[in-house]
Amino acid sequence: MGCRAASGRALQTVLRRDGSTSSTRSTTMSTESPIPSLPTKIDPARSKVPKPRHVPSVDSVTTINADGSRYFLHPADAHGWFTRWRRHSGLALIAFYLLLPWINVGGYPAVFLDVAERRFHFFGFTLAAQDVWLLFFGVSGLGFALFFLTALFGRLWCGWACPHTVYLDHVYRRIERMIDGDALQRRQLDLAPMGAGKLFRRVLKHGLYILASLFITHLFLSYFVSLPEVWHMMGEAPGEHRGMFLFVFIAAGILYFNFAWFREQLCIVLCPYGRLQSALTDDHSLVIGYDAKRGEPKGRLGTPDAGACVACNRCVQVCPTGIDIRHGLQMECVGCAACIDACDEVMAKVNRPKGLIRYDSLVGFAGGKTHWLRPRTIVYGILLLVGVGVATFAFSTVKPAGFTVMRMSSAAYFVTADDVRNQFMVRLLNKRNEPAVFTVSLDGLRAGFSQDGLTSAVTVAALAEQVSPLVLHVDRKHYTGPFKLKISVQDQSRTFTLTRQVEFLGPDARLLLEEDHDKGIKR
Ligand code: SF4
Ligand code: SF4
């Protein structure tokens, strides 16, 4: 019992809203939360035994206890320039994601990956399944761009644009902040025994998490089947669209698990990019770091010979991955810049220059000059330029039509009393979002040659394909053996020509000559 009481006292060591730590006797939830005040008093005798207070170190991950269990973080709110602009850019990115399926370009959503029809629409540019190889350039281009940007700016992507960070910070943490209050209130609520008030908040918060996850998943689905189709499917019984229902169910479940519980663990233990960054960056790359030259030795205000750091721990309290940036660059740092704002706020309060924690290179923190142009950035830059050049060329070769010629099954050629015959199937594919008229022409013809099929222009509906027979004949008396010819397709405005070479097959011409001679047919 004595132990429990001691534990209860330990629970009461909490964070003040200004960031400093303090022992307090108050165990009642603050009333600042927009949710009506609910009975959430902590009874130390009934509350769960707290985990020991975590002090970040470079030897272990703060969010994992020594016994392997999870230590759930409640990062404090940061306020400042970076927090404000991260919020603006995060909300703009979310709006971009939400609006894309609603924006119509050329009769289709701006981004529509129509897997069922094997057509991929990007802002009015349509790729057919045959053009999917171009995605290789898109993906590798993104990879090279990430290499280049990481070498220059470190983990700017993680902190400002990664969908995981954007949704966690600007959707799920906002819901949590709205329902459970600030970091202090959240921690107290976590430690409080389950009662009506806590249950109400938990149900409300997780209900909103589930709704947000379902919304994001449905919108994601609309990138593949279009919004009207998603809407139509939602109006029908799940059994009518079992596959889609299962997909939404599983994807929303994964999102909910990730954003409600897993959170920063994804960045720390799953995402390979965090590990890659140590290979992609060097001492001149931009990182978020602590100016130890200026900050050390730490000391409370008024401590003789102390550096600029007042050891308030505010930078640790706001960190969403629970690290202490004063220990140096760490893999867990997702570059969210919350510690910059937190420290700048403290520096402003104690009338010291801002920037004790700031964006700079390791060389810059050591007092040197950062070089942007260096072998690593030059090599990555050249790779990126080559990639962009090749991708631009590859995309410029994409024609708004496709065309294949296949020999009909059965015999490769037919010999009749009058001629030698080859039969083909010509497949014309219109990749445009409007009907197109094509003309098919033959090149390399010989005397005695004739054709059946495709003698006049062919109209193919928008995003459709048409398969037509093409039969080629050569009179027996003009037949001199197999030969090659070209089949070309042009659109009506002659903006492009597609050409395929085929071979006209047949027997050895001497055999036909002997046969005709035996039959008394004169040539
Ligand atoms: S680095 Fe800044 S925020 Fe962090 S403990 Fe020192 S003064 Fe406080
Ligand atoms: S150390 Fe600073 S920038 Fe890095 S994750 Fe923590 S708060 Fe964000």
Which pLDDT tens digit goes with each residue over 303-347? Answer: 999 999 999 999 999 999 999 999 998 889 999 999 999 999 999
| Nearest residue (CA) to ligand 1, atom 7 | 309
Handedness of CA 168, 205, 194, 17 (dihedral sign): positive
Residues 506 and 454 in one domain: yes
The answer to whether residue 119 is domain-embedded is: no
The DSSP string of 142-205 is: HHHHHHHHHHHHSSHHHHHT-HHHHHIIIIIHHHHHHHH-SHHHHHHHHHSPP-HHHHHHHHHH
- Nearest-angstrom CA–CA distance, 56 and 50: 17
Q: Is residue 113 part of a domain?
A: no
Domain, as residue range, for 71: 55-104+142-161+273-398
- Strand locations in 237-381, DSSP E? 286-290, 357-361
Going by alpha carbons, the residue nearest to atom 3 of ligand 1 is: 343
In a shared domain, residues 157 and 170: no
Domain boundary among 262, 291, 322: 262
423, 456 in Cβ contact below 8 A?
no
CB of residue 340 inside a 6 A radius of ligand 1: no
Domain membership flag for residue 128:
no
**Do 279 and 152 share a domain, yes or no?**
yes
Residue 502 has which token pair? 């085929």
pLDDT tens readout for residues 254-278 = 999 999 999 999 999 899 888 888 7
User: Is the distance from the beta carbon of residue 323 to the nearest atom of ligand 2 less than 6 Å?
Assistant: yes
Tell me the whole-structure pTM to 2 decimals: 0.77
Q: Do both 251 and 333 map to the same domain?
A: no
- Does 289 share its domain with 317? yes
Considering its fold, how many domains does the chain have in total?
3
- Taking the centre of ligand 1 as the mean of its atom positions, its distance from the CA of residue 314, in whole angstroms, is 6
Predicted local confidence at residue 37, as pLDDT = 52
Per-residue pLDDT of the chain (523 residues; tens, 9 = 90+): 333 333 333 333 333 333 333 333 333 333 344 454 544 444 444 444 444 457 787 777 888 888 888 889 999 999 999 999 999 999 999 999 999 999 988 788 999 998 888 888 888 888 888 788 888 888 888 888 888 999 999 999 999 999 999 999 999 999 999 999 999 999 999 999 999 999 999 999 999 999 999 999 999 999 999 899 999 999 998 888 899 999 999 999 999 999 999 999 999 989 988 888 878 899 999 999 999 999 999 999 889 999 999 999 999 999 999 999 999 988 899 999 999 999 999 999 999 999 999 999 999 999 999 999 999 999 999 999 998 898 888 888 888 888 899 999 888 999 998 899 999 999 999 988 789 999 999 987 778 899 999 989 999 998 889 999 999 999 988 888 899 999 999 988 888 899 999 999 999 988 888 888 887 776 6
330 and 416 share one domain: no
Other Cβ atoms less than 10 A from the Cβ of 139: the count is 9
Residue 130 maps to a domain: no
55 contact partners, CB below 8 Å, separation of at least 6: 324
What are the counts of helices (DSSP H) followed by strands (DSSP E) for the chain?
A: 18, 18
d(CA 281, CA 288): 13
Which one-letter DSSP state was computed for residue 319?
-
Q: Are residues 360 and 414 in the same domain?
A: no
Ligand 2 atom 8, closest CA: 336
Is residue 84 located within the same domain as residue 16? no
Ligand 1 pocket: which of 298, 310, 313, 358 to mutate (most atoms <8 Å of CB)? 310
Task: Answer yes or no: do 239 and 326 share one domain.
Answer: no
| Phi and psi torsions of 516, nearest 5° | -65, -40
